[in-house]
Amino acid sequence: MSNPNRLHPITIIFSVLKNVKETIIPIVFYFVVFIVRDDMKNEIQIEGFGPWINFVPYFILILIFLLMVASGIIKWYRYTYRVEDMELRIEHGLFVKKKRYIPFDRIQSLDFSEGILHRPFGLVKVKVETAGGNNEKSEAEMSAIKKVDALALRSIITESKDREKNSKEIIENVEASTKQSILYKISPKQLLFFASTSGRIGVVVFAVLGFGSQFDELIPFDKIFKEMELVAKAGFTIIAILVVIGLFLAWLVSVLMAYLKYNDFTLEKVGEDLVITRGLLEKRTTTIPIKRVQAVTVKESMLRQPFGYASVSVEYAGGSILDENTEGLLIPVVKKKQIGQILQETLSDYMFDIDFIGAPKRAKRRFFLIKMFAAAILTAILSIWFWPYSLFAILLVGGAWILGHLQFKSAGWNLTDKQLALRYRGIDQLTTYMRKNRMQSLDLSVNWFQKGADLATIETAVMSGGVANFRVKHLNGEDLKKIYDWYRPA
């Protein structure tokens, strides 16, 4: 690959689609103002000009589109990549030619994804992730190259790294690189259960609201609100039914989104890497080097915990924070008792089957008193404006007590010679396992609410795409001193 290579010509289409996406709102506004509005009126007649003046807005749109196509062709022609002198060399630019040379030893992984337009041509999109790279985006991105070329590029980079090691290490790495084992593959039943309990309904609702706000000039919201006033007069029951129907439809959309995104989710160990593939319409491949794993987190959501299911993710250094798999999801859904069996051999530095020391009983009321007080104030405020329907807000007080009780039951810690594990809960219960040599910091704090009861809060951090923090409140002060003595340098 020492000769310059170009991306597949379909890159031109991707470039045009990207430009259209970025300018869709101005284009729609222009179309409504200068075309639809004028078509609703009589044809414009300007002295000295013929009727062709009415077609000027259409000519402008065609010109803009042709400029987008020309820009895409130039970008495709000027974008080249090659491998030379232990570097991946990329040259690109529309008017100013830019050069980016990435040494092999900085390349952490090559992540592949296959969209609907990639698959018929055997293409993939490649993201180049580097250790210590820009957290905001990938180090480099190749939007469309043949999959065989992408695999060849990854092999060249891996083999070049191996040549720098001594002969024994080369043999070990070659043997390791040929070893490939499937650690986890989602089953159809697991996928359906995962999609049904994914909790993405809020994302769908906010996306619909955000989309509507972008087109408030086109959507007749005033008329809709007037119709809603008539519905409101019909009674609370009808409103409740409409809300339930809306939430049900949003849930169905969220199930479909999760099903498409995580279809055929597979976790493999390939050499010293964890390779994740997923997706139905767009197939994505993410590579996570095992040596870059900073922490492992087991998540038990409110909907899955009663059935004994959990998901597993890792914090790892080298990924961009805008990447879709930033959360490092290794296992979308699995029986909690099987996690150690699946991951123990691969992540041998971690101990998953351990017992936790919980928060002391004297800390229990501190988990729910403040929440109940805040819920009571909110209930009182709502009662002023929405009486008597605001009486339902009293349920918030009971919900605050239940959440606080669950947080008390979840809070806990475990300490071994080289590992700290923390268990805590926001809405979902999270258990994080950290190696001592991966921890960036450990902080203990005591507020006036905790001081009299000899309680404290522990917070730790590890490096990820940014910095990941983990925090547990109201643990026994003497226990946290032991953890602090364990962590601080001798």
pLDDT, tens digit (0-9, with 9 covering 90-100), for 1-19: 667 888 999 999 988 888 8
User: What are the beta bridge partners of residue 89?
Assistant: 82, 101
Question: Which residue has better confidence, 426 or 138?
Answer: 426
Q: Cα angle vertex 458, ends 454, 461, to 5°?
A: 170
Q: How confident is the model over 375-388, as a mean pLDDT?
A: 74
CA dist 275 and 182 (Å) reads 9
Q: How confident is the model over 116-143, as a mean pLDDT?
A: 78
Question: Which residue has better confidence, 321 or 46?
Answer: 46
Distances (CA, A) of 361 to 388, 413, 421, 452, 472: 38, 15, 20, 14, 15
Burial status of residue 131 (CB atoms within 10 A of its CB: 0-12, 13-18, 19 or more): middle
Question: Which residue has better confidence, 236 or 244?
Answer: 244
CA dist 233 and 238 (Å) reads 9
Question: At 227, is the pLDDT very low, low, confident or very high (cuts 50, 70, 90)?
Answer: low
Residue-wise pLDDT tens digits, 18-34: 888 888 777 777 666 66
Length of the chain, in residues: 490
The pTM (predicted TM-score) of the whole model is 0.70
pLDDT higher than threshold 60 for residue 396: yes
Three-state DSSP class for 225? helix
User: What are the beta bridge partners of residue 127?
Assistant: 111, 141
From the list 222, 273, 242, the residue with the least C-alpha distance to 112 is 273
Burial status of residue 263 (CB atoms within 10 A of its CB: 0-12, 13-18, 19 or more): middle
State the chain's mean pLDDT as an integer.
80
pLDDT score recorded for residue 310: 94
Q: Which two tokens stand for residue 197?
A: 């309990």
Percent of the chain scored above 70 by pLDDT?
Answer: 75
Burial letters 393-430, b for 16+ CB under 10 A, else e? beebbeebbebbebbbebbbbbbeeebbbbbbbeebbb
CA dist 319 and 127 (Å) reads 10
Is the preceding peptide bond at 103 cis, omega within 30 degrees of 0? no
Distances (CA, A) of 456 to 300, 314, 440, 482: 25, 27, 20, 12
Select the highest-mean-pLDDT range: 1-10, 70-79, 277-286, 375-384.
Answer: 70-79
